[in-house]
Amino acid sequence: MARQERAEQTRQRIVEAAASEFAGHGYDGTSLHGIVRTAGVTMGALTFHFRSKSALADAVQESGAAATRAALDATAPATGFQGALETVLALAGALRTTPSVRAAARLTREGHGGWYDCWAPGLRDALERSWCEQRADSGLTPADSGLTPLAVTTLLAHVVLGAEAAASTPEALRPVTGDAPGENLAQALRALGPLLSRPADTEACGA
């Protein structure tokens, strides 16, 4: 095996170990010594690739963002509110199954990254486009009441935050989420779909 290939494999093993540690313990609760033990490498190998814990957290954020984009790209294409639901369900699934995504979400929540930036703006934009199209098709006026894209984006962001908590502490939340949290979440969101997709007055439509 070429030296460069071995070095890349070592780097990837360190990032994966760091993702597991950050996801489980947070930034402040994670030590380089713990990452070294989990990765099965020497401290010299770690510092060769990453000069600091901050640099390693940045690499985990990049890995988590890439995994998040891959999860979203793998979802069935859908538009409007249905597309927003599928985005949230894909994010919840990635949080349950992918340590780097959980780590990126937790690091962002602790002030060490911007994981939400890789999906939240697109979610709101898609909702705004859907709202405007529905208003144009139905002839709704500014006096019509209902939810706004920002309000629904805020709600769905809180759903994702809850999904992160459920993925991080599944046993503690099992009495609340049940044995199939992913299925229960999908059922609840899809049942709420008709209400949440109701068009409302929004400045984005030029009303």
Determine the pLDDT at residue 122: 86
Is 54 domain-assigned?
Answer: no
Q: Is 198 left (phi over 0), alpha (psi -120 to 50) or beta?
A: beta
Determine the pLDDT at residue 11: 96
Please report, in angstroms and rounded to a whole number, the separation of the first and last CA atoms in the chain. 63
Is 172 domain-assigned?
Answer: yes
- Which residue segment(s) compose the domain that 197 sits in? 61-201
Is 37 domain-assigned?
Answer: no
- pLDDT grade for 145, boundaries at 50, 70 and 90: very low
**Cβ atoms of 126 and 79 closer than 8 Å:** yes
Is 193 domain-assigned?
Answer: yes
Q: Where are the alpha helices (DSSP H) in the chain?
A: 3-25, 32-39, 43-49, 53-73, 80-97, 99-109, 120-138, 149-168, 170-177, 181-196
- Provide mean pLDDT across the span 141-161: 74
Determine the pLDDT at residue 202: 46
pTM score: 0.83
CA 144/CA 1 separation, integer angstroms: 66
Q: Reduced to 3 states, what is the DSSP secondary structure of residue 78?
A: coil
Is 56 domain-assigned?
Answer: no
Q: How many domains does the chain have?
A: 1
Q: Reduced to 3 states, what is the DSSP secondary structure of residue 1?
A: coil
pLDDT digits (tens, 9 = 90+) for 87-116: 899 999 999 999 999 999 999 999 998 999
Q: Please, what is the Cα angle at 188 between 76 and 164, to 5 degrees?
A: 75
Is 114 domain-assigned?
Answer: yes
Is 179 domain-assigned?
Answer: yes
Determine the pLDDT at residue 39: 96
Is 45 domain-assigned?
Answer: no
Q: Which of 83-97, 120-134, 144-158 has the lowest mean pLDDT?
A: 144-158
The CA–CA distances, whole Å, from 160 to 117, 140, 142, 192 equal: 13, 31, 30, 16
Mean pLDDT of all residues belonging to the chain: 84
Q: Reduced to 3 states, what is the DSSP secondary structure of residue 137?
A: helix
Residue that is written with structure tokens 């009303």 in the block? 207
